[in-house]
Amino acid sequence: MDKIVVLDFGSQYSHLICRRIREFSVYAELVPYDISYEELQKLNPKGIIFSGGPSSVYNSDAPVPENKIFEMNLPLLGICYGHQLIVNKYGGKVKRANKEYGSSLLTIDNDKDLLNGIGESVRAWMSHGDEAEQIPPGFQVIGHTEGAKAAAIASEDKSIYGIQFHPEVVHTEQGTEILKNFVLKVCGANQDWTMEGFIDTTVEKISKIEGNVLCGVSGGIDSTVVALLIHKAIGDRLKCVFVNNGLLRLNEEKEIEEMFKDNFKVEFTSIDAINQFLGKLRGVEDPEKKRMIVGEEFIHVFTEFAEKNGPFKWLAQGTLYPDVIESGVSKGPAAVIKSHHNVGGLPEWLNLEILEPLRELYKDEVRKIAKILEVPEKLFMRHPFPGPGLAVRIIGEVTPTKLKIAKVASRIVEDELLEANLYDKVWQAYAAVGDDRAVGVVGDERRYGNIVMIRVVDSIDAMTADWTRLPHGLLEKMSNRITNEIEDVTWVTYTISSKPPATIEPQ
Ligand code: XMP
């Protein structure tokens, strides 16, 4: 399989470069910028991309890749900070400039290679404070904006390129075309990254492992796909365990048990651990603590199961690439945003090895696999649900009242979206609740009740999200039902913050 390697210099959106490339069926992998020359060689890339990043090349502690990487004679594309790195490395000059942030008009000066077929000018997304004042000898300017004279440069032998703008963000028109020109034409990579291929290689890899595998399944698409892939590889050496932690959606435990028993041939055990989880969460308000507690309790339950039903060598989980990036364990310089319980929260005492076959994939890629594996439509259209469940949708302490509110109100939101034929069109939809209360009037009486927050978002991969512009009539219906059907609720609000700056879950 042909591969493009992206060196991560710390931009929050470095991973988007990989995503865009994978969308046109070429495998792209994000690695820390300080990867060794030997490691990079082992990956055998067809081309290298330097991502953007927050640093300035003239700072003494500026991140730079190993020198030998420049001598590999592979096609190279630098984006933003990566562009400045190339300018600096090959003898040009980078200077501090006026900050340019947002969309600028990029005029194409040479449309031969990288900027081929994208027209005379395009809107390009800029986000930089430095710029190339003088381009290196042997390079030419192939595109400029009003603010950046050397917004796109190419070496004379047409193998090294630098662009000041971000082709990976949707605000850059023809950004994917620019990446395609680099990956397909300059690097000559084949479009051979398919989910069918991924299934074959993954099943083959897993079939070589020794020992039994315990797979924690949640009923969500990720862990279900993990279980099916492992089952394909090792059959009954896999045992699936579903944990009812009391933090699930309304009646979810029954639905999931039925779905597994009706559709899949895997061995399935359901464990009731409601008291154990809710007991540990009593009195805990801090969101990160709650995540850690839930993560650790899962491991306690799995370990106990493994001791009674083992021996097991592996614990399999449905961790995805965005979980890995957001937990800051991808080794790159991106900051920790939230620690996903299935990534950051594994205790040291765990004596099972971890198997995470989907660790490199985005959600839409997992959905494609689910389709190929004939997972029932009902499941794979199901919205994602966070591992720590309602513990992160309940702000403050998890109490029985707040649990009931979150469960019933979320069910109302989901039902109304289904009824309006909108459920499949949105990424996630639920109702969150905290300790804030407001006065309401019921009959002739004043009542002090909880405030519920409805959250409905559109997204492609959960890395960014936009709040969904639901029809007012639908919101009204949800609100009426929530206040009528849950007596502890007096007010209903709708959250209108996108990610960034917000996140999808409130905690
Ligand atoms: P945020 O709130 O970070 O969520 O914008 C991004 C996506 O990840 C889900 N999520 C989690 N999934 N374990 C998971 O398996 C977690 O700890 C976790 N936290 C958030 C969230 O539902 C959204 O789809």
- The reply to whether omega before 311 is within 30° of 0 (cis) is yes
Nearest atom in ligand 1 to the alpha carbon of residue 392 is 19
Q: What is the mean pLDDT of residues 336-357?
A: 68
Scanning 142-220, the segments in alpha helix (DSSP H) are 175-180, 195-207
Q: Given this model, what pLDDT does residue 336 score?
A: 47
Residue whose CA is at the smallest distance from ligand 1 atom 18: 386
pLDDT in tens, 364-408: 899 999 999 999 988 878 898 998 999 999 999 999 999 999 999
Q: What is the mean pLDDT of residues 424-439?
A: 97
Q: Options 3.30.310.10, 3.40.50.620, 3.20.20.140, 3.40.50.10490; which CATH number does 195-380 get?
A: 3.40.50.620
Comparing CA positions, the residue from 76, 69, 59, 60 lying closest to residue 163 is 76
- How would residue 410 be classed by pLDDT, with cut points 50, 70 and 90? very high
Residue whose CA is at the smallest distance from ligand 1 atom 17: 340
Asked if the model's pLDDT at residue 464 lies above 70, the reply is yes
Asked if the model's pLDDT at residue 497 lies above 70, the reply is yes
Give me the residue spans of the domains in the chain: 3-186, 195-380, 399-494
Q: Tell me the pairing of strands 213-217 and 238-244.
A: parallel
- Number of other residues whose CB lies within 10 A of the CB of residue 414: 20
The reply to whether 195-380 shares the fold of 3-186 is: yes
Q: Given this model, what pLDDT does residue 342 score?
A: 57
Asked if the model's pLDDT at residue 333 lies above 60, the reply is no
Higher pLDDT, 337 or 43: 43
Q: Is 80 a catalytic residue?
A: yes
Torsion-angle region of 305 (φ positive above 0: left; ψ -120 to 50: alpha; else: beta): alpha
CA distance linking residue 234 with residue 357, whole number of Å: 14
Q: What is the mean pLDDT of the chain?
A: 92
Residue 115: how many CA atoms within 13 Å on its side-chain side? 26
- The hierarchical CATH code for the domain 399-494 is 3.30.300.10
Higher pLDDT, 451 or 500: 451
pLDDT in tens, 106-145: 999 999 899 999 999 999 999 888 989 999 999 999 999 9
Asked if the model's pLDDT at residue 413 lies above 60, the reply is yes
Instruction: Judge if the beta carbon of residue 505 lies within 6 A of ligand 1.
Output: yes
**pTM value?**
0.77
Instruction: Judge if the beta carbon of residue 386 lies within 6 A of ligand 1.
Output: yes
The one catalytic residue in 83, 128, 144, 166 is 166
Q: Is 168 a catalytic residue?
A: yes
DSSP-based helix, strand, coil % in the chain, nearest 5: 35, 25, 40
Asked if the model's pLDDT at residue 344 lies above 70, the reply is no
Nearest atom in ligand 1 to the alpha carbon of residue 342 is 13
CA distance linking residue 401 with residue 412, whole number of Å: 17
CA distance linking residue 265 with residue 374, whole number of Å: 13
Fold of 3-186: Rossmann fold (3.40.50)
- From the CA of 78, how far away is ligand 1's center (Å)? 31
Q: Given this model, what pLDDT does residue 335 score?
A: 46
**Residues ≥6 apart with Cβ < 8 Å to 466:** 457, 458, 459, 498, 499
